[in-house]
Amino acid sequence: MNWRAVQAIYTFEMARAYRTLAQSIVSPVLSTSLYFVVFGAAIGSRITAVEGVSYGAFIVPGLIMLSLLTQSMANASFGIYFPRFTGTIFEILSAPISTTEIVIGYVGAAASKSIILGVIILATAGLFVPLHIAHPFWMLFFLVLTAITFSLFGFILGVWADGFEKLQIVPLLVITPLTFLGGSFYSISMLPPFWQTVTLANPVVYLVSGFRWSFYEIADVDVSISLAMIGLILGACLVTVWWIFKTGYRLKS
């Protein structure tokens, strides 16, 4: 393993985040804080507790997951798309670096930025609502695994996209709606039976449910199923990335 190559890619990507600190960190934190103000304070005061948890505290895991998914994808997709756009990807592909090292560098940096953002949002949430983390280890496990998984998904998106517009299609038109409809702001047990069944087809439900369980020990689906769903998505992303480098899909043309 050429760790110097991994470090070079990782350091370069992290440095880009530091140069655009307002866009990378400050903007998402402010946006999430507005959710706390509107949903947690204004609306939450009119809603009774959800399964024994105040509404303001109940939505914290969902809001963190919303930011984690979107930012992981955005960081990774732009990170690999920009070298393709400028043509520097050919220098990376011709260097004595394996595909594994390239993926670790780009995905590791994207996941790191998302995890840092998630921790900052968690700390910010503590200023608005009282928080209780029942299982800190599992909370961090879900946080890290989800960041890695969707950074891989963003890497795939960055390879697939042939324009800056396409980088926004999946996050805006697919991931964000699925997150809002995936129990981020409510428990799916509040829905009629038919819509509960329909909602279970949404993979984000399992991510939010497992993450919320690590906080309050309440979940819409069994925690083992949530872990299996994350593992399934991670496995699919790894296979897709392997196929991309094996075939050179949109990297060598």
pLDDT averaged per 10 residues in sequence order, the chain, 253 residues? 86 82 72 72 67 84 89 90 84 84 93 91 84 92 95 93 82 84 85 88 93 93 94 95 87 68
Q: Which long-range contacts does 118-124 make (Cβ < 8 Å, 24+ apart)?
A: 118/64, 118/67, 118/68, 118/143, 118/147, 119/143, 120/25, 120/29, 121/28, 121/29, 121/32, 121/63, 121/64, 121/67, 122/60, 122/64, 124/29, 124/32, 124/33, 124/36
The predicted structure's pLDDT at residue 43: 64
Q: Detail the DSSP E strand segments found in 40-179.
A: none
What is the residue extent of each domain of the chain?
3-247
Q: What is the mean pLDDT of the chain?
A: 86
The predicted structure's pLDDT at residue 226: 94
The predicted structure's pLDDT at residue 209: 94
Separation between Cα atoms, residue 92 and residue 6, nearest integer Å: 11
Which of 222, 190, 192, 191 is closest to 206 using CA atoms? 222
The predicted structure's pLDDT at residue 194: 87
- Three-state secondary structure call for residue 91: helix
- For residues 180 and 170, the answer to whether their CB atoms sit within 8 Å is no
User: pTM for the whole thing?
Assistant: 0.90
Separation between Cα atoms, residue 175 and residue 181, nearest integer Å: 10
